[in-house]
Amino acid sequence: MAITTPGQSRNRRFQLRATASEEKLIKVAAERQGVNVTDFIMRSACEKAEQALSEQTRFVLDDRAWKAFLAALDRPPKDKPRLRRLFQEPHVATRRS
């Protein structure tokens, strides 16, 4: 999932409540990173959301979605010539200057 990209306007609103110490902590951290509070909070929240979703190991699917998932697994792999060439290149760690 992509976080906001340049040219993409934010048109949704979150209303948050914070303690005075939480507010101060967030403002200081945002200032030190050279971003405004909204950008700091959104970046932090999106990073945490992506991490939480990437760690998800159990998925529950209804019958239709399960059948579609199994069909996708059963399809033969597609040939990806660029990917094949990439894997044929020497590994970065094995290259010598």
In a domain, 15, yes or no: no
Q: Which domain holds residue 44?
A: 20-94
Taking the C-alpha atoms of residue 87 and residue 80, their distance in angstroms, rounded to an integer, is: 11
Return all residues near 46 (Cβ < 8 A) that are at least 6 apart: 1, 3
Give per-residue pLDDT as tens, 32-72. Answer: 999 999 999 999 999 999 999 999 888 899 999 999 999 99
In a domain, 56, yes or no: yes
Q: In the chain, how many domains are there?
A: 1
Mean of the per-residue pLDDT values of the chain: 89
Q: Give percent above pLDDT 70 in the chain.
A: 87
In a domain, 12, yes or no: no
How many Cβ atoms from other residues are within 10 Å of residue 40's Cβ?
18
In a domain, 88, yes or no: yes
φ/ψ region of 34 (left if φ > 0, alpha if ψ in -120 to 50, else beta) reads left
In a domain, 61, yes or no: yes
In a domain, 37, yes or no: yes
How many Cβ atoms from other residues are within 10 Å of residue 29's Cβ?
14
